[in-house]
Chain A
Amino acid sequence: MQTIEAKTTLDINKQEVENITGSEAVLKALLAEGVDTIFGYPGGAIMPIYDALYDYTDRLNHILVRHEQGGIHAAQGYARTSGRPGVVFATSGPGATNLVTGLADAMIDSTPVVCVTGQVFAHLLGTDAFQETDVINITTPVTKWNYQVTDASEIPGVLAKAFYIAKSGRPGPVLIDITKNAQIQQFEYKGYQSCNHIRSYRPRPLIRKEYIEEAARLINAAERPFVIFGQGVILGKAEQEFKAFIEKGGIPSAWTILGLSALPTDHPLNVGMLGMHGNYGPNVLTNECDVLIAVGMRFDDRVTGRLDKYAKQAKVIHLDIDPAEIDKNVKATVPVWGDCKETLPLLSALLEQKVYPQWLQRFHDCTKKEIDTVIHAELNPAEEIMTMGEVIRELNEITGGDAVIVTDVGQHQMVACRYAKFNQSKSNVTSGGLGTMGFALPAAIGAKFGAKDRDVVAIIGDGGFQMTLQELGTVMQSKVDIKIIILNNRYLGMVRQWQQLFNDKRYSFVDIESPDFVALAKSYRIDGRCVSHRHDLKGAMKEMMAHRGAFLLEIMVGKENNVFPMVPQGCGVGEIRLS
């Protein structure tokens, strides 16, 4: 095994050579990387690191979660709102395997996370020792990089590499597995040097000017240009550059679920959401634009629907930092590789200042049609029973669009993303690519630590909440001031909706019972309230937001409400259904 070489950014200070343990080296690395919060759960194989942590609690805030999956989702939430890598500690065996769902989620949603797992002593590897599992091989397909450390002297270099890989290029999760002997071992510590170059790793592709020029030429000649943007704008911290780009080009812009909040909701060029439950205009007009400009998004099948019916008439400009994304799903006419923080200003500089009033009007016409057929009834229902949409509308009125909204997976997620208002970036935290039910509660905990000054509201379904509700214990113990809204329709609603539409109403195992959520919260010393009538909704929301500390608000909504519009699976975006 070769030792990891990290190119130095700081000179080694020879006078500071000292002997420390591998465990201390881990904590020193975290401090050097600017980590302030760790989400974790101790266990046998990671005990030396926890022992060292005992002396670092003044500098590192460790949040004891209730399950390692909660730990990694919290780290994801932290990363999404702070823009910095989330850090997780877990022990070997079950501790490490419990991370797998979160790793897969972070991998597909490009979330920077650094996991440190304990491992059995190196001499026990492969002996089926207690709590030994082959974590490196289990996590290989769901990590951007992983590495097993068996010698303490490797730790500073490996952790430097881990942080660099997690946050650079297209971010992703990294797992470092450290055998117990390496945690205990003393070694000569020569200081910590952060990593900024690995020869086999190219996080920033070279920007080719001729492609930027070609892209600009296409856009300037376009009559109906359309921008679709994803999380790349947020990950690249390129919100301003993006706004300047679309404003100069005068181009209507729609977002993927992870691109949400990169552009304020009420920006005049923001025309809504793409995809299966996205807005009507962005979907149908994808098939009418002449130049489609994709910024930091990967043409997920939930966005494109049937690929052979997707934007066939358009020339496609694809801006992405990951070369493997170019042409993966949709063939690019002009690929613009690179960090959009750098490529967007170059492109903007070549654009002509333009407006497309008639083209933009097409979007507005579609919006009007969608309001008339779907949105108005969803936000202002005539029926007695509440809808999910009106809950989000009330929430918007109270938060004004300034809160961080964390959603789980399912109908409530689609409704929240469709209707929640956002004024600033890094405000939408959701499990997009993997669709991990149970994500929201732990992610909201992490989101709060990543954005301590902001209100964090988790919106969760009755099904998803029951997947990770043990994290109420974390909320209680660490006094995490999050607001939890459970939208209870007493069904696994999204699956039920599909069963209704496509399986002839054969409701197979979607009827889910729930405990008394408010009583459950109270048992965790978290205040809560359940609302079943519209006239109580506003008051309850106000009470929740004004409450000091965590609060759980259960809201009973219509049992068989559906989310529309919808692009049925296997259909093109032009075949979107309004009912």
Chain B
Amino acid sequence: MKQEYTITVYTENHVGLLNRIAIMFSRRKINIESLNTSPSEIEGIHRFTIVIHETEEVVRKLTRQVEKQVDVLKAYYNTNDEIVWQELALYKVPTDVIAEKAKVERLLREHGARAVVIRKDYTIFETSGHREETDKLISVLEPFGLIEFVRSARVAIIKNSSGFHEKLKEFELDEPGEEIIENEYLDKGKDVFVM
């Protein structure tokens, strides 16, 4: 069954790596719904957050291929209930409408939006949340003359992850340790051996 998966990739910060990772998806004709690169909890290590809509089998194989890349330290995939995620959205609306109609301000409040810039001609609001939430505000603002809208890629935190600090220590070692080859398959030995 296809569903939304979030792939988290810890990488070195090298030129060209974004392309190397992106083409692994396009080669398989998989559309990337959202892609974010950012620093991670460790200086010098980058973190990609990639959202795709696929079956688990495809996602598992793809994650392994991503992890195989020389400059990739580790790649994980998670379903939506295994992560906490947010997207940031910006909305530009005419200031006169906001000023004249008290209803608009109430709507914005209800959606947790706050003003970032207020000018004579326009006002920019921002909100963050899941896609449905930021989408909802678009439809709410549209009747009042939404001038521009933009939304960021998803950023996600894996609920049961304890971060990368300890893992990195193992990566620095010459000999591989348990952490490095941890794997959803190998760690389910008991299930695996059921013939």
- A205 B189 Cβ-Cβ under 8 A: no
User: Top 7 nearest A-B pairs by Cβ distance?
Assistant: A324-B64, A206-B176, A145-B70, A199-B171, A200-B73, A201-B70, A324-B68
Mark the stretch among B95-103, B117-125, B179-187 that contacts chain A: B179-187
Partner of B14, one of A2, A204, A208: A2
From A146, A165, A323, give the contact of B183 (CB < 8 A): A323
Q: Give the complex CA separation of A324 and B27 in angstroms.
A: 16
Residues in chain B near residue A448, CB distance under 8 A: none
A204 lies within 8 A of B176 (CB): yes
Interface size on B, residues (CB 8 A): 37
Within 8 A of A (CB), among B12-32: 12-16, 19-20, 23, 27
The DSSP consensus for interface residues of chain B is mixed
Residues of B within 8 A of A199 (CB): 73, 168, 171-172
Judge whether B70 and A165 touch: CB under 8 Å. yes
CB distance from A333 to the nearest CB of B (A): 7
- Known pairs A200-B11, A334-B192, A334-B193; A206 contacts B19 (CB<8 A): no
- With both chains docked as a complex, state the minimum distance between the C-beta of B30 and any C-beta of chain A, in angstroms: 14
Q: Which chain A residues lie closer than 8 Å to B177 at the CB level?
A: 206
Cβ B23 vs Cβ A200 within 8 A:
no
B181→A206 contact, CB < 8 A: yes
Rounded to whole angstroms, the CA-CA distance of A245 and B72 in the bound complex is: 34
CA distance A564 to B129 in the complex (A): 62
Minimum CB–CB distance for B37 against chain A, Å: 15
What CA separation (Å) do A197 and B70 show in the bound complex? Answer: 11
- Out of B12, B20, B195, which one reaches A315, CB within 8 Å? B195
B142 CB-CB contact with A under 8 Å:
no
Kindly report which residue of chain B lies nearest to residue A136, judged by CB atoms. Answer: B16
A191-236 contacts to B (CB < 8 Å): 196-202, 204-206, 208, 210-211, 214
- Which residues from chain A contact B174 at a C-beta distance below 8 Å? 7, 196-197
Minimum CB–CB distance for A366 against chain B, Å: 27
* B185→A205 contact, CB < 8 A: no
A217: nearest residue on chain B (CB-CB)? B193
A337 and B181 within 8 A (CB): yes
Give A352 Cβ to nearest chain B Cβ, in Å.
19
Inter-chain contact A205/B176, CB cutoff 8 Å: yes
Which B residues are closer than 8 A to A by beta carbons? Answer: 11-16, 19-20, 23, 27, 44, 60-61, 64-65, 67-68, 70-73, 168, 171-172, 174, 176-178, 180-181, 183, 185-186, 189, 192-193, 195
Number of A interface residues, CB 8 Å? 38
* Complex CA–CA separation, A214 to B194 (angstroms): 11
Q: Are A140 and B12 neighbours in the complex by a CB distance under 8 Å? A: no
Cβ of A148 and Cβ of B15 under 8 Å apart? yes
> Closest CB of chain A to B121's CB: distance in Å?
38
* B-side contacts of A214, CB under 8 Å: 189, 193
> Do A140 and B16 have beta carbons less than 8 Å apart?
yes
**Complex contact B16–A146 (CB within 8 A):** yes
Contact A326 B176 (CB under 8 A): no
In the complex, what distance in Å separates the CA atom of A334 from the CA atom of B191?
Answer: 11
Q: How far is the CA of A146 from the CA of B177 in the complex (A)?
A: 27
Residues of B within 8 A of A147 (CB): 14, 16
CB within 8 A of B185: which of A2, A201, A327? A327
Cβ of B185 and Cβ of A326 under 8 Å apart? yes
Cα A208 to Cα B44 in complex, Å, equals 31
Q: Does A579 contact B (CB under 8 A)?
A: no
- Chain B residues contacting A335 (CB-CB under 8 Å) are 185-186
Q: Is A137's beta carbon under 8 Å from chain B?
A: yes
Question: In the complex, are the beta carbons of A1 and B176 less than 8 A apart?
Answer: no
A221 to chain B, nearest CB (A): 10
A323 touches B14 (CB 8 A): no
Whether A471 sits at the interface, judged by CB under 8 Å, is no
- 13 A-B pairs (CB sep. < 8 Å): A2-B12, A2-B14, A136-B16, A145-B71, A147-B16, A196-B174, A199-B168, A200-B70, A201-B71, A202-B171, A324-B64, A327-B185, A337-B181
- State whether B192 touches A206 (Cβ < 8 A): no
Within 8 Å CB of B19, what residues of A? 137, 140
Contact B72 A200 (CB under 8 A): yes
B192 touches A322 (CB 8 A): no
Give A140 to B14 CA distance when docked, in angstroms: 13
Complex interface: chain A residues within 8 A of B15 (CB):
1, 148
Question: Could you tell me if A206 and B180 are in contact, using CB atoms closer than 8 angstroms?
Answer: yes
Q: Say yes or no: is A267 at the interface (Cβ < 8 Å to chain B).
A: no
Q: Which residues of B contact A145 (CB under 8 A)?
A: 70-71
Complex Cα distance, B173 from A206, in Å, reads 13
B40 to chain A, nearest CB (A): 13
Q: Are A141 and B27 in contact (CB under 8 A)?
A: yes
In the complex, the answer to whether B180 meets A327 with C-beta atoms within 8 Å is: no
Take A323-B181, A324-B61 as given contacts and tell me if A202 and B176 are in contact as well, using a CB distance cutoff of 8 Å: yes
A 318-331 to B, binary, CB cutoff 8 A, 1 in contact else 0: 00001110111000
Q: In the assembly, what is the distance between CA of A322 and CA of B168, in Å?
A: 21
Are B70 and A322 neighbours in the complex by a CB distance under 8 Å? no
Whether A180 is near chain B, meaning CB under 8 Å from some CB there, is: no
Partner of A2, one of B44, B64, B186, B189: B44
Contacts of B171 in A (CB 8 A): 199-200, 202
- Point out the residues of chain A lying under 8 angstroms from B27, CB to CB: 141
With contacts A140-B23, A205-B176 taken as known, whether A2 is within 8 angstroms of B193 at the C-beta atoms is no
Chain B residue, CB-CB nearest to A323: B64
Q: How far is the CB of B97 from chain A (nearest CB, A)?
A: 44
Which A residues are in CB contact (< 8 Å) with B189?
210-211, 214
Give A7 to B181 CA distance when docked, in angstroms.
22
Q: Is A302 an interface residue (CB 8 A)?
A: no
Chain B positions within 8 Å of A140 at CB level: 16, 19-20, 23
Q: Once the chains are docked, how many angstroms separate the CA of A528 from the CA of B64?
A: 51
